[in-house]
Chains A and B, each alone.
Chain A
Amino acid sequence: DAKTTQPPSMDCAEGRAANLPCNHSTISGNEYVYWYRQIHSQGPQYIIHGLKNNETNEMASLIITEDRKSSTLILPHATLRDTAVYYCIVRLSDSNYQLIWGAGTKLIIKP
């Protein structure tokens, strides 16, 4: 099972780009990288996911290295409301469909 490693916490200034790294060195070829976030104790919220190519949506961009062993989530213009725990997770490729959730990165946006 591919596992992920994220820094436990990060700070970012409001208005700046927040770059959240994730290592997933044992990822296999057909496993996707997902990013979710959890604001305080609310239900987690989907942000973005990708396989090989970089992805962008209205919330964020996902940059995956060519060897797929790491990725970076980019919030282009962080606001105070982006303060949350961000989870980088890899989908298991077997049939029972689980996302393995680690401890995530607590991102604090400072004014």
Chain B
Amino acid sequence: EAQVTQNPRYLITVTGKKLTVTCSQNMNHEYMSWYRQDPGLGLRQIYYSMNVEVTDKGDVPEGYKVSRKEKRNFPLILESPSPNQTSLYFCASSARQGWDTQYFGPGTRLTVL
């Protein structure tokens, strides 16, 4: 089954404790991205990747890092989480940039205390 998976689905952590949210897709998609969703602000893109070893900033990249060492994986790293990063995070992938539809993961609800 074609899917995008994220782990963990729920995470409560404390300020400053490094964490990684994993994202994996089994569709051999080139394009992957991370979004955060906050009440009243909609979905905002954090980072995206057009292929292996190619990443770029989205609208709200501050405080986040990503890497794309393999085509299927696109982890989101918070080196020193802060309470303002409490949010619902989604990973998405698509076959190519531009015209293709995006497939979203189930989401990771992160709380930073």
Contacts and interface: CB of A to CB of B under 8 A. Distances in A.
A26 B51 CA distance: 31
Q: Please report whether the interface of chain B is mostly helix, strand, loop or mixed according to DSSP.
A: strand
Q: Please report whether the interface of chain A is mostly helix, strand, loop or mixed according to DSSP.
A: loop
Contacts of B50: 97
Contact of A97 (B31, B42, B59, B90): B31
B81 interface: no
B106 A98 contact: no
Given A32-B99, A97-B31, A43 B45 contact: no
Contacts of A91: 98-99
B107 A104 contact: no
B58 A102 contact: no
A63 to B, nearest CB: 19
Given A41-B109, A46-B101, A46-B102, 13 more contacts: A34-B101, A43-B104, A44-B102, A45-B104, A46-B103, A96-B48, A97-B48, A97-B50, A97-B98, A98-B58, A98-B59, A99-B102, A103-B42
The 10 closest A-B pairs by CB, nearest first: A43-B104, A101-B43, A46-B101, A97-B97, A101-B42, A44-B104, A43-B105, A43-B90, A43-B106, A97-B98
